[in-house]
Chains A and B, each alone.
Chain A
Amino acid sequence: MDSAWLLLSLRIALIAALAGLIGRWQGETAGWAFGCMGLLLLLAFHYIYLARLQRWLKQPDSQTIPDAWGAWGNIYIELYRLLRREAKAREQILSDLEVFSQAAEASPDGLVILDADNHIVWCNRMAEQHLGLRGERDAGILVTNLIRLPRLAEFIAHPGEGEPLLFRPAERRGSVLSIEAIRFGKDRKLLISFDVSQVERADTIRRDFVANVSHELRTPLTVISGFLEHMLAEPAPEEARHQLGLVSEQVDRMLRLVDDLLILSRLEGESQMLREEEFDVRDLIYEVSGEARRLSAGRHTITCEVVPATLKGSRDELHSAFSNLVSNAVRYTPEGGRIVLYWEVKEGKGIYRVEDSGIGIAEEHIPRLTERFYRVDRGRSRESGGTGLGLSIVKHVLMRHQATLEISSVPGAGSTFSAVFPAWRVTLPQA
């Protein structure tokens, strides 16, 4: 490259030297004229090459690159290299992109990329099938315009929060999709749709199975328990009486278990709407505390501290949730302990709270307490007569009322279970 520029300078120097010589022999004017002519020729030559470069730049192609000499040759060689580098890089990027889009197409889940304003940018074939989109044709359309789920707009506005949205596309009967939204990059969102029809179906089958089995078990158990009662009333030897008593205890436990399973499977049936009514919370809590006193049989002090208020919801279901919480307290509080039932309204929210001075729960158990049959201490709760389903029932009932369960506990000092109800379910009496 340096040599080309050197050559160009040499050429100018040559023209200047020749012009000087001619000037000395033929006079000054002829010298200047020759110099100008030489430079003009050089200029014209460069202009021609400039024009060619411009023409070529309109359609740059490494095949049609013009030949040239001197500095122009160098420039074309550099341009040629640049072109090759670009082409290679583009190929690389394209093949990378191809790999990514093939991977996205191969995904068994539907993927939809949305821009900051929720317009569709891209979607894979699975998403087309799941959500009835039409690939590239739908790019740029607001996603809520095509998927007109009443709750979708709100759902997309807060990506990554809350439960996945369940969606039953009307085009495909019986299939259930679960939709999730994730924020990525700068303000972009990714909608992911999974086909959960199988899971949903398996869940229904399991629920039906549990419900049917519990139902079938109930009748024979009732018969057995009836006859046992009858036999216990008859005179019998001491040993037989003792054994019959044990059998009767176990039968009662099984009956309770079956009842709880039935309640739970009914609560899980999503299709069942909540039968809502407004009722006085105080009455319900007095009722529950009365039952607790009977269960405790004088071993504990049970008191209530309640404010007047009405609650909107299913009284029957809440009765079972409230009494489950209290009977747990009775079971896990040693004799002479204290149990207090609170009902208070804070910032509009209604809070039902059961405090006991019982054995408490170690922190690591708290998150798992509401699992079915989860037991902190295997031996203990069975002897105290629990079914292991109580807190699951509580959780389900509260969920159906949009309420939350909060648990705090100090081992050895007692536990507090609070059910917090949203403000719109609670009405305070007019003052």
Chain B
Amino acid sequence: MTAETAERRPQAKRPLFRRRSAIPGFGLTMGVTLTVLSLIVLIPLSAVVLKAAQQSPAEFWSVATSERALAAYRLTFGAAFIAALVNGVFGVLTAWALVRYDFPGKTVVNALVDLPFALPTAVAGIALATLYAPTGWIGQFLAPLGIQAAYNPVGVTIALIFIGLPFVVRTIEPVLRDAAEDVEEAAASLGASRFDTIVRVVLPALAPAWLTGFALAFARGVGEYGSVIFIAGNMPYKSEIAPLLIIIQLEQFEYARAATIAVVMLAVSFTMLLIINAIQAWSRRFA
């Protein structure tokens, strides 16, 4: 080929967003993704924001920061955070047992872990409330110790632990399964005790997956309604969660007020998930 013919050929247009890829289908998959996300997530959420915007800023602010609403946010986010932390610890242990050991009934345990996904949350809420009430099977032993585990924030946390359980287990499990054994052997041959090996080598490698599981459990906890209302007691300022407050406003036809609280939750949740994702990206810097 001479220089002349090369020059005369029209310049290929460079696409704006993507480079030429050997794998076709970018346009199709991106299009479908955006359409579905818009229909299912973006448009409904915008509607919420629009509804809240029907009020004046002063009204919005007074509803968003009313004493009752603040108490509800505190409970919702606090209980979800604590529950996600508890699941974070328990989930790692469960995943470890499921991956590393063979024991009778392993398949049953494996199925039990997923049960909170499948069970109608109201059923779980009623069952938990019955068990942890001061007269219930478990509650009767806690009551003499001065621990009330139902109809208060402790009850809310218990319900959120239940529904968030599978997330950490299921995100840690595949990573733990793929973790190379030779890394642990290397640590042992360098003189590390079993404890040091787990704390310094195994667990740090799980950090990104753990954060994902934690974020999922936390997000699920923030949005949970069905199981919580049965065990929470639902006392304003004390054990009333934000989703319930929204329902109460809706039942009183205060749509704008309901949307206001929803917008606050939306903003806080979105910010927290963004932060967790950023931490996750940072913790993957070595991968």
B and A form one assembly: no
Enumerate chain A interface residues (CB-CB to B < 8 A).
Answer: none
